[in-house]
Amino acid sequence: MSIKYGYNIDLSADTTASKVIKLVGKNKKVLEFGCSYGYMSEILINEFNCQVVGVEIDEEAAIKANQICQKVIVGDVEQLVFDEVFDNQYFDVIIFADVLEHLKDPWSVLKDVSKLLTQDGFIIASLPNVAYGGVIIDLLQGKFNYRSLGILDNTHLRFFTRNSMIELFESSGYYISEIHRTIVPLQNSEFHNFDAKINKELLQFISEYNTDFETYQFVVKVNKMSDINTLKELRKNYKKVLSEIDKLSSVLLENKDLKSYVEKLEYDISQVNEYAHQLQQEFKQLQEYSYKLELDIKQVNQYARHLENDIQKYQKK
Please report the pLDDT score of residue 2 as a whole number.
38
Please report the pLDDT score of residue 251 as a whole number.
59
Please report the pLDDT score of residue 237 as a whole number.
64
Annotate 90-159 with DSSP letters as a single string: -EEEEEEES-GGG-S-HHHHHHHHGGGEEEEEEEEEEEEBTT-HHHHHHHHTT----BSSSTTBTT----
d(C-alpha 222, C-alpha 47), whole Å: 23
- Predicted structure pTM score: 0.72
Q: What is the pLDDT of residues 204-243, one digit of tens each?
A: 888 888 999 999 999 999 999 875 555 665 666 666 776 7
Those residues of the chain that have pLDDT short of 50 are 1-4
Please report the pLDDT score of residue 312 as a whole number.
75
Please report the pLDDT score of residue 231 as a whole number.
62
d(C-alpha 114, C-alpha 108), whole Å: 10
Judge whether 190 and 132 are in contact, CB under 8 Å.
no
Please report the pLDDT score of residue 283 as a whole number.
72
Q: What is the SS3 assignment for 172?
A: coil
Annotate 71-103 with DSSP letters as a single string: EEEES-TTT--HHHHTTT--EEEEEEES-GGG-
d(C-alpha 238, C-alpha 249), whole Å: 17
- The DSSP output letter for 160 is B
Please report the pLDDT score of residue 308 as a whole number.
76
Please report the pLDDT score of residue 193 as a whole number.
79
**133-140 vs 200-209: helix crossing angle, rounded to 10:** 130
